[in-house]
């Protein structure tokens, strides 16, 4: 049965989005990435994907920081126009 991520991936061989089946999963040496061997359900070609986990709190924090920086840049641009 295809996993949710595999269903949205396009096969690099045939371009099909029918889904893929995970045949092997391994954590890399540093423990940061997951290497998955997949097989296309359409043409049966094998390919590799790499996945990384992320901390949603860090992602949210970076997004908030980006909004603050954008607001500061807008304020600076406005100040330069007034000058």
Q: State the pTM of this model.
A: 0.54
Residue in 23, 34, 33 with CA at minimum distance from that of residue 1: 23
pLDDT of residue 43: 93
pLDDT of residue 2: 44
Q: How does pLDDT run across 10-53, given as a tens digit for each residue?
A: 889 998 888 889 999 988 777 778 889 999 998 999 999 888 87
Measured CA distances, 77 to 23, 60, 66, 68 (Å): 53, 26, 16, 14
Q: Which residues contact 33 (CB under 8 A, 6 or more apart)?
A: 27, 50, 51, 52
Q: How does pLDDT run across 66-78, given as a tens digit for each residue?
A: 887 888 888 888 8
What's phi and psi for 22, nearest 5 deg?
-80, 125
pLDDT of residue 58: 64
The confidence band for 55, taking pLDDT boundaries of 50, 70 and 90, is low
pLDDT surpassing 80 at residue 7: no
* Every domain of the chain and the residues it spans: 1-52, 54-83
Contact 8, 18 (CB under 8 A): no
């Amino acid at each position: 049965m295809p996993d949710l991520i595999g269903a949205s991936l396009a096969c690099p061989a045939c371009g099909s989005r029918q889904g893929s089946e995970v045949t092997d999963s391994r954590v890399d040496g540093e423990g940061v990435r997951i290497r998955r061997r997949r097989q296309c359900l359409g043409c049966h070609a094998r390919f590799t994907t790499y996945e990384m986990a992320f901390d949603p709190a860090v992602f949210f924090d970076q997004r908030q920081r980006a909004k603050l920086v954008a607001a500061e840049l807008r304020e600076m641009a406005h100040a330069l126009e007034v000058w």
